[in-house]
Each structure stands twice: as C-alpha cells, then as structure tokens.
C-alpha cells in the first residue's frame, strides 16, 4: 500500500454523543458494523463485514498495543485504550475504544468494541506516545508534528 497520498493527512472527526460499534468473531473478523463505523471509516457496512478488523489498522499504531489487547481478551479481560485508525481513503480518525468479550451461556462467542471521540490534547499525547513506542520497537519510523 502507498502512504504518500494526500488523503493520508486528513482527519475525520468522530462525532460526540454517538458510538462507533463493531463486533468480531474470536479471530477478529468483523461480524457486525454499525452505520457510524461505516461512515467514519469510509467503507460500506457490506465491505466491513467478513473482513479482519485490521482493515482499519493505521501504520502509526505500534504492534505491541494490539498484542496487549489480544492478551487481555484471551485472559477474559476487557481492553480499553486509544486507537488511531485508517480510513479507506487513507485518511485517519482517533477513537477511545473499549473492547470486551460477549458471552452466551457462559461461553465466549464474540468480541465487541465501542468507540467514542477523544480530545485534541489526547490526540497529540497519543501520537507522541505511539511514535516513541514504534521508535523503541524499531517499527516503521515516522514522527508526526502537530501544530496548534
């Protein structure tokens, strides 16, 4: 994939008071996406369902964040954190996500994620934090500077 397209620089703002919701099977393949998820990610619901959730993975996200997420989920715990996602047009959007298991008759059947917007200050903080993590882990090195 090419990352030098100009859309890469455009942010989509997640609206206040609405939730971006998705569910996945136990392997992380999307089984449900609400309309807001489709709208914000730039995909249609039909394009999202059946795809791995990494369809919206942004290269600025350190690998270890998702490693920790999956470790928690596999231990039956919920994961909560900040994610930068990539849209279909390579633009991006930031969310706070709560990811947890869904149970049927005490058996883990799916995972769900509920996402809400974060503040500009949090975006600046997490961009810096994730840039540092990728540098430490020797992942793709790209540093983003925010102007205020």
Ligand X SMILES: Cc1cc2nc3c(=O)[nH]c(=O)nc-3n(C[C@H](O)[C@H](O)[C@H](O)COP(=O)(O)O)c2cc1C
Q: Which stretch binds ligand X (CB under 6 A): 1-9, 48-56, 124-132, 138-146?
A: 48-56
Considering only 24, 90, 93, 118, the residue that binds ligand X (CB under 6 A) is: 24
Binding mask 93-122 for ligand X (x = CB under 6 A): ------x-----------xxx---------
Residue closer to ligand X (CB basis): 25 or 125: 25
Contact between 36 and 18 under an 8 Å Cβ cutoff? The reply is yes
Residue 53 sits in the site that holds ligand X (CB under 6 A): yes
**To 10 degrees, what angle do helices 63-74 and 120-136 make?**
100
Q: Which stretch binds ligand X (CB under 6 A): 6-14, 20-28, 116-124, 130-138?
A: 20-28
50-to-45, 46, 120 alpha-carbon distances in Å: 10, 8, 32
Which residue in 142, 147, 135, 139 sits closest to 11, CA to CA?
147
Residue 82 sits in the site that holds ligand X (CB under 6 A): no
Which residue in 12, 18, 28, 15 sits closest to 99, CA to CA?
28
Contact between 9 and 90 under an 8 Å Cβ cutoff? The reply is no
Residue 85 sits in the site that holds ligand X (CB under 6 A): yes
Binding positions for ligand X, rule: CB under 6 A: 22, 24, 28, 53-54, 56-57, 61, 66, 83, 85, 99, 111-113
């Amino acid at each position: 994939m090419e990352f030098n397209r100009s859309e890469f620089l455009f942010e989509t703002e997640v609206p206040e008071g609405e939730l971006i919701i998705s569910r996945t099977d136990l392997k992380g393949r999307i089984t449900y996406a609400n309309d807001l998820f489709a709208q914000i990610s730039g995909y249609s619901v039909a394009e999202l369902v059946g795809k791995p959730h990494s369809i919206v993975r942004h290269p600025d996200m350190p690998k270890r964040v998702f490693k920790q997420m999956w470790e928690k989920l596999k231990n039956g715990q919920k994961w909560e954190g900040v994610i930068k996602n990539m849209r279909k047009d390579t633009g991006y959007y930031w969310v706070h996500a709560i990811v947890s298991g869904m149970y049927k008759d005490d058996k883990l059947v799916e995972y769900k994620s509920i996402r809400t917007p974060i503040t500009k200050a949090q975006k600046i903080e997490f961009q810096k934090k994730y840039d540092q993590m990728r540098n430490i882990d020797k992942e793709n090195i790209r540093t983003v500077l925010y102007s205020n």
